[in-house]
Amino acid sequence: MSALVENWPALLAGLGTTLLVLVTSAVGALVLGTLVVVARVSPVPVLRAAAFGYVQVLVNVPLLALLLLAVFALPDAGLLAPLTLTAIIVLTVYEAAYVAEALRSGINTVPRGQVEASRALGFTLSQTLRLVVVPQAARAVVQPLGNVLIALLMNTALAATVGVVELTSAVNKVNLVQAEPIPIFGAAGLVYMALALVIGLGAGRIEKRVAIRR
């Protein structure tokens, strides 16, 4: 335990980076994922195909491969971004595909008749989506989105492999000196669990609050 106490500034800085990566890429993934799913269900065939391709590619390529590509292949193409920024962008783009799929399952819960009804009432496509479909779809998928965010939290640990000093990387460094892997990694695991619990419980509360009582 003393290993953890002595090194708390480094560990806290690592946790801070984990939270920074988590929050920025979560916000980014929610926004980008919503845009993708709107394109996915739009009546424009090109947009639909593009959104479909986006989701298929990102869901079927391992995140580690994407991270390594972004960090080591993009510089050869002349794009050299800071490591943390690169990791945030890759996580955003990757998780947006999962957010889009979660939202799409919500959209499929909205009965087709409601869309036809709103069209009959003279709603534009944008109005139909904003006022009828997305609000109901989002309520249905609060808990699945919470799971996507928990997966995102766990995925931030992969950023350690490409030089981002987040929590996993910070505990690695402490362990390198202290050589007590079980308490050190156990403690890090508990921190990840606590964060996941916060996200999970938060999603549960939000779900209850926004539930539609029919």
Partner 1 sequence: MSRTLRRRSTIAASLALVASLGLAACGGSDSGSSAVPPSASGGGEDALQSVYDAAPVADAAALLSDSTMAAIKERGVLRVAAALDAPLLSQQDPSNPDDIQGFDIDLAKMLAIYIIGEPNIEVVPPASETREALLTNGTVDVVFNTYTITEERAQQIEFAGPYFVSGLAVAVPSDNTDISGIDDLGGKTVIVGANTPAVTAVPEQQPTAEVVSFATDPQCVQALTQGRGDAYVQDYTLLAADAQSNAGIKVVGQPFTQEAYGIGLPPDDQDFKDFVNDWLEQIYADGSWAAVFDATLGTVGDGSTPEPPTIGSVPGS
Q: Where on the chain is the footprint of partner 1 (CB under 8 A)?
A: 40-41, 48-49, 52-53, 56-57, 60-61, 65, 68-69, 71-73, 75-76, 80, 83, 104, 107-108, 112, 115, 133, 160-163, 165, 169, 172-173, 175-182, 185
Whole-number minimum distance, CB 200 to partner 1, in Å?
28
Whole-number minimum distance, CB 211 to partner 1, in Å?
23
CB nearer to partner 1: pick between 106 and 146: 106
Closest CA to 118 of 134, 106, 104: 134
DSSP state of 120: H
Whole-number minimum distance, CB 181 to partner 1, in Å?
5
CB nearer to partner 1: pick between 12 and 27: 12
Measured between alpha carbons, how far is 92 from 26 in angstroms, rounded to an integer? 7
Whole-number minimum distance, CB 164 to partner 1, in Å?
9
CB nearer to partner 1: pick between 25 and 168: 168
Measured between alpha carbons, how far is 190 from 5 in angstroms, rounded to an integer? 15
CB nearer to partner 1: pick between 150 and 165: 165
Q: Where are the alpha helices (DSSP H) in the chain?
A: 2-6, 8-41, 45-60, 63-68, 83-107, 112-120, 125-127, 134-140, 142-155, 167-178, 181-210
Burial of 111 (0-12, 13-18, 19+ CB in 10 A): exposed
CB nearer to partner 1: pick between 182 and 208: 182
Q: Where are the alpha helices (DSSP H) in 108-180?
A: 112-120, 125-127, 134-140, 142-155, 167-178
